[in-house]
Structure 1
Amino acid sequence: MSATPEIRILVADDHFIVRMGLVALINTEPGLRVVGEADDGDKAVALFEQLRPELVLMDVRMPVKSGPDALRQIRQRAPDARVLMLSAFDGDEEIHNALQAGARGYVLKSATDKELIPAIHAVAAGRRWIPQDVASRLKSRQLYEQVTPREIEVLNALAAGLANKEIADRLGISEYTTKDHLKSILAKLRVADRTQAVTAALQRGIIRLK
């Protein structure tokens, strides 16, 4: 009988300790081997092109280029690339963005090795892997009306502590239009004030602190 082909894996995570832990875990599993490591999105794209691994284990939030952005670039070159997203965050918008970019699975960093290893095998075999907790968060996204790109710009300005006039000046719009955007944002996020809007947007992964 022929041996089962080895699954070659590229690990992309900007946190050194986390990356080392993932590498150690994967390399102790029969049939899995880490062939490359990247600490930012650009390096992940370059190493994928060089190594062509069977699977990429990719952090969602990385410097230079985010996980979803790196994945989009990888898929331009290799449409069948198999990528499992890994994140410490369970915001429904962040999960949605990763899957829209082409991720075949999404696992939280709080997952145990008994959850992560089956996810790696499943995605490497071409199957999708969406755990129940992730699926529940994704389903909750359907309960909200989606914010527009302009409203996301306003949310980022709110997170930076800008007043209405400062937001208007930054975006080149009137204060009246700014207030309209704020009213829409509060309604869509189902919150009562600016602070709650920023908190909700951060929790859901709609915006990130710079």
Structure 2
Amino acid sequence: MKKKLCIVMLSLCLASSFTACGSKEEPAKPAETESPKTEESEMETPAETPVEKPAEDEIQNVDNPIDLISTGMTYEEVVKAFGVEGGKMSETTVSGSTVTQWFWNYADGSGYIAVTTQDGIVTAKNDVRINTTTSNITLDIFNQITTGMTYEEVKNLIGSDGTLTTDTNIGGVQSTMYMWKAADGIGIASIMFQNDAVVSASQTGLK
């Protein structure tokens, strides 16, 4: 009897032991915490402010720049006088000589100066711009201008200097063209000199 009771007790202990083992729960794993995402901030590159530069062929801060140059000068001397390189309009080779036409713009946009060089030497210059300077020229004064008069005589007759628009030296003959604008801003007189003597004169709108 005692032997049967011991076997029963042993069976119960084993059963309870197996039950305890089967119901054993694994410890819960700690929840994984996500690291806060940090958004990369884009660094803004400051915009570069463009620096305005004068055009390479613009004459800066020079009064009556055409008076700074003369025929016989070298191209390098012209560049030094104007302070900037000229723009090239054309270049041709004739009988072994290189003829180049250059231009320099007025910074105020009123026109340009054209210079012709032959083998690097200035042979002609032209001032092509809107002339705003007026004078006392009238039709009566214009009619008193005669061929052979010097520039000084014409200047004294009109009462002021003219605007040099053309200056060339070909074969030792110096040809210059001066222009005078009337006080009304309409009439214009153009006078051509060769070796400082009047050879021709024309006018339009003088009264």
TM-score normalised by structure 1 residue count? 0.21
Higher relative contact order (CA 8 A, sep 6+): 1
Higher helix share: 1
Larger radius of gyration: 2
Higher strand share: 2
